Amino acid sequence: MTNEGKLSDICRSGWIYSQEQAQFVFAPGQTETTYGRKRGWVSLFDFSDKKDKDIKEALIRHWFFRTLRNAGTLAYLVIAESACSSLISWKQAFREVGGKEFFIPFVETWYPGDMPLELVSDCLVVTVDRSPR
């Protein structure tokens, strides 16, 4: 997930750079202490083979799809199946650091290093307008 401006940068460069994800960190003040960020990895969400209750729990607790509150355009990048074998799962993070570093259980995963755009298979661009009450 990224904003419209960053999507243009990604398309122009052909890369998703891990250091440029800092503005999308889920918990303010944890930019440098998130599990993947400390390692220079690209943070992703993996909803494949997840139980509905696990996805719902992650959405409620961490509310990383903030489009309902903030108007604007976001791009949701869909990772190609060929990239899946390279991904680092949240289970590995838990085994390695337990609760000492921030990550979102059940749904967060990482690509180790900067990610080439060729590993993105699709992109959904969504514009949310804040409706007047």
Q: Would you say residue 39 has pLDDT above 90?
A: yes
pTM (predicted TM-score):
0.76
> Of 20-24, 46-50, 97-101, where does mean pLDDT reach its minimum?
20-24
List, as one string, the DSSP characters of 42-93. EEEE--TT--HHHHHHHHHHH---GGGTS-EEEEEEEEPGGGGGGPEEHHHH
Does 24 score more than 70 pLDDT? Answer: no
| % the chain with pLDDT above 90 | 35
**Residue 58 within any structural domain of the chain:** yes
Domain that holds residue 18: 2-128
> Residue 9: is its pLDDT beyond 80?
yes
Mean pLDDT confidence for 53-74: 65
The confidence score (pLDDT) of residue 56 equals: 74
In-domain check, residue 109:
yes
Would you say residue 74 lies in a domain? Answer: yes
* Structural domain includes residue 133: no
Domain count, the chain: 1
